[in-house]
């Protein structure tokens, strides 16, 4: 009887042991199942016995994965921020040229919308005759220069760089300014060549006539030819002098010799110059307001003001009048030259200070104009933080005003003579 009883107890003890073990494992499996629903490394369950090893191994693995993920996310965020901050447009394209991602500069330059256009084929969004072929070719050493249509002039240089498997990086750079400078440089060289070629052709033609013995320098036709050759060489010299002045102005940003000089002395010299040039053909007046000293490069300002005066004489038919005036307005110094000459149509005004721009081509050349006078005036005034204002009406005349900022003008002190309005008139 006892042996049977003993065996039942033993069996019960085994069953109980198994049940306890099962409950222990079930609890840990449950903890694991709960954790799997939100598998954060900090929430990995803490087990005991064999589960302690399982959970701590799990913790190490999950923690390492989490850390790596964190590092990758950080790297990706930093990479995107860097790409976002780039002044060039960056577009990531997939194998079918669909937009995967683009930065703010690409949105602005190519007219894309990073959120709405993600997944869209770029060839449907950027329309340009050569763009599709360029994207499809995807060669990293080929550049496409595209002129975009729109309210503002925009020139883009596009490079498409293939990477990974069939993916592409499209880089768009705004080259509007560089293109404009390049065009200006080319136009400048073409203009200078043209300006020099015309008088040189005249001179060489006459020299050939003399060389062939068809005309002698001492006969009337010869003297006339010599006179024409002289005027053409003068024209070339004037052009080269103006070019040298412009290049000197461009080689330094600031005036070289700044002094505080008496503006009235300069004005009187300019009036004399105008009268000499006019040779009695115009009425030339000087109107001076409040006396002042101007702080700046006297030679540069004299040459700029002189160009305005020379133009007034050249573009005013005989019998007209020219008025030089100086005054202070809100502290600014204003030197103006008004004439009753041919005037300028409004559409020419914005371009008048460009090199070689002429409103009246034939008259400018006839009067020996180089086409650089107002470009020099603008340069000099800009170097003195000033500006040029132009008022003009065809057939009625023009007023060119050189405005100097208040900090460059020192009104006469009380010890000096009181401001007077002086008019010097001579016909
Ligand atoms: P230019 O040597 O041809 O006179 P400028 O740069 O001095 O070159 O002037 C540019 C153009 O502006 C001239 O070609 C002329 O058409 C116009 N212009 C300048 N000053 C006057 C003026 N006082 N009256 C009429 N037109 C003027």
- What is the per-residue DSSP string for 80-92? HHHHHH-SSEEEE
Which residue carries 């002429």 as its tokens? 358
- How many CB atoms neighbour CB 177 within 10 A? 9
Q: Mutation test of ligand 1: which of 249, 274, 311 has the most ligand atoms closer than 8 Å to its C-beta?
A: 311
Cα-Cα-Cα-Cα dihedral sign, residues 35, 40, 43, 47? positive
Residues 6+ apart with CB under 8 A from 364: 358, 371
Domain 179-250 has CATH 1.10.287.130: yes
Q: Mutation test of ligand 1: which of 282, 313, 369, 381 has the most ligand atoms closer than 8 Å to its C-beta?
A: 369
Ligand 1 atom having least distance to the Cα of 400: 23
Closest CA to 342 of 358, 320, 371, 310: 320
Ligand 1 centroid vs 326 CA: distance in angstroms?
A: 21
Please give the pLDDT value at position 1. 56
What letter would DSSP give residue 297?
A: E
Q: Mutation test of ligand 1: which of 315, 316, 341, 355 has the most ligand atoms closer than 8 Å to its C-beta?
A: 315
Based on its alpha-carbon atoms, the radius of gyration of the chain, rounded to whole angstroms, reads 42
Ligand 1 atom having least distance to the Cα of 339: 23
Residue pair 132/148 in contact (Cβ under 8 Å)? The answer is no
Residues with CB under 6 A from ligand 1: 307, 311-312, 315, 339, 341-344, 352, 358-360, 364, 369-375, 398
Please give the pLDDT value at position 141. 81
Ligand 1 atom having least distance to the Cα of 360: 16
Ligand 1 atom having least distance to the Cα of 355: 6
Which CATH architecture best describes the domain 86-174?
2-Layer Sandwich (3.30)
Residue 60 φ/ψ, nearest 5 degrees: -60, -45
Residues 6+ apart with CB under 8 A from 415: none
- How many CB atoms neighbour CB 310 within 10 A? 19
Q: CA dist 363 to 214, 314, 323, 337, 370, Å?
A: 32, 9, 21, 19, 11
Residues 6+ apart with CB under 8 A from 283: 320, 321, 322, 425, 426, 427
Please give the pLDDT value at position 255. 84
Q: CA dist 267 to 194, 212, 285, 335, Å?
A: 35, 51, 11, 9
| Fold match flag (179-250 vs 259-425) | no
Ligand 1 atom having least distance to the Cα of 374: 6
Closest CA to 160 of 131, 138, 130: 138
**Ramachandran assignment for 424, one of left (phi > 0), alpha (psi -120 to 50 degrees), beta (any other):** beta
Q: In what order do the strands lie in the sheet with 89-93?
A: 99-102, 89-93, 167-174, 154-163, 144-148
Residue 146 φ/ψ, nearest 5 degrees: -115, 130
Give the residue ranges of the chain where pLDDT is below 50.
416-427
Residue pair 397/343 in contact (Cβ under 8 Å)? The answer is yes
Residue pair 320/341 in contact (Cβ under 8 Å)? The answer is yes
Q: Domain locations in the chain? A: 27-77, 86-174, 179-250, 259-425
Residues 6+ apart with CB under 8 A from 52: 46
Residue pair 262/293 in contact (Cβ under 8 Å)? The answer is yes
Ligand 1 centroid vs 315 CA: distance in angstroms?
A: 7
Please give the pLDDT value at position 42. 86
Burial of 44 (0-12, 13-18, 19+ CB in 10 A): buried
Look at domain 259-425 and name its CATH class: alpha beta
Ligand 1 centroid vs 359 CA: distance in angstroms?
A: 7
Report the interhelical angle of 2-37 vs 50-85 (nearest 10°): 10
Whole-model pTM: value is: 0.69
Minimum CA distance residue for ligand 1 atom 2: 369
């Amino acid at each position: 009887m006892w042996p049977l009883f003993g065996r039942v107890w033993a069996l019960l003890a085994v069953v109980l042991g198994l049940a306890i073990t099962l409950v222990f494992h079930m609890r840990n499996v449950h903890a694991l199942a709960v954790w799997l629903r939100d598998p954060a490394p900090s929430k990995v369950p803490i087990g005991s016995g064999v589960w302690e090893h399982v959970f701590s191994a799990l913790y190490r693995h999950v923690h390492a994965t989490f850390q790596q993920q964190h590092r990758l996310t950080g790297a990706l965020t930093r990479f995107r921020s860097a790409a976002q901050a780039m002044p060039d447009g960056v577009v990531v394209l997939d194998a079918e040229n669909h937009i995967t991602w683009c930065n703010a500069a690409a949105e602005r330059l190519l007219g894309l919308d990073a959120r709405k256009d993600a997944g869209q084929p770029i060839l449907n969004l950027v329309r340009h005759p050569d763009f599709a072929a360029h994207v499809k070719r995807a060669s990293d050493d080929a550049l496409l220069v595209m002129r975009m249509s729109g309210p503002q002039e925009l020139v883009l240089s596009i490079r498409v760089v293939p990477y990974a498997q069939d993916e592409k990086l499209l880089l768009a750079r705004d080259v509007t300014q560089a293109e404009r400078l390049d065009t200006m440089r080319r136009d400048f060289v073409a203009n200078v060549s043209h300006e020099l070629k015309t008088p040189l052709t005249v001179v060489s033609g006459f020299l050939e006539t003399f060389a062939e013995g068809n005309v002698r320098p001492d006969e009337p036709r010869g003297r006339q030819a010599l006179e024409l050759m002289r005027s053409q060489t003068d024209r070339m010299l004037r052009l080269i002098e103006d070019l040298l002045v412009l290049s000197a102005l461009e080689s330094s940003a600031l005036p070289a010799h700044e002094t505080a000089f008496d503006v009235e002395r300069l004005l009187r010299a300019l009036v004399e110059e105008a009268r000499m040039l006019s040779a009695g053909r115009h009425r030339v007046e000087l109107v001076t307001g409040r006396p002042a000293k101007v702080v700046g490069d006297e030679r540069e300002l004299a040459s700029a003001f002189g160009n305005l005066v020379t133009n007034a004489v050249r573009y005013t038919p005989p019998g007209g009048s020219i008025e030089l005036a100086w005054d202070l307005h809100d502290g600014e110094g204003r030197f103006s030259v008004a004439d009753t000459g041919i005037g300028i149509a409004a559409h020419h005004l914005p371009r008048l200070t460009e090199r070689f721009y002429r409103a009246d081509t034939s008259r400018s050349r006839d009067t020996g104009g180089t086409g650089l006078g107002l470009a020099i005036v603008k340069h000099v005034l800009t170097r003195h933080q000033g500006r040029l204002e132009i008022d003009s009406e065809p057939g009625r005349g023009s007023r060119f005003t050189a405005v100097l900022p208040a900090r460059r003008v020192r009104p006469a002190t009380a010890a000096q003579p009181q401001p007077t309005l002086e008019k010097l008139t001579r016909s």
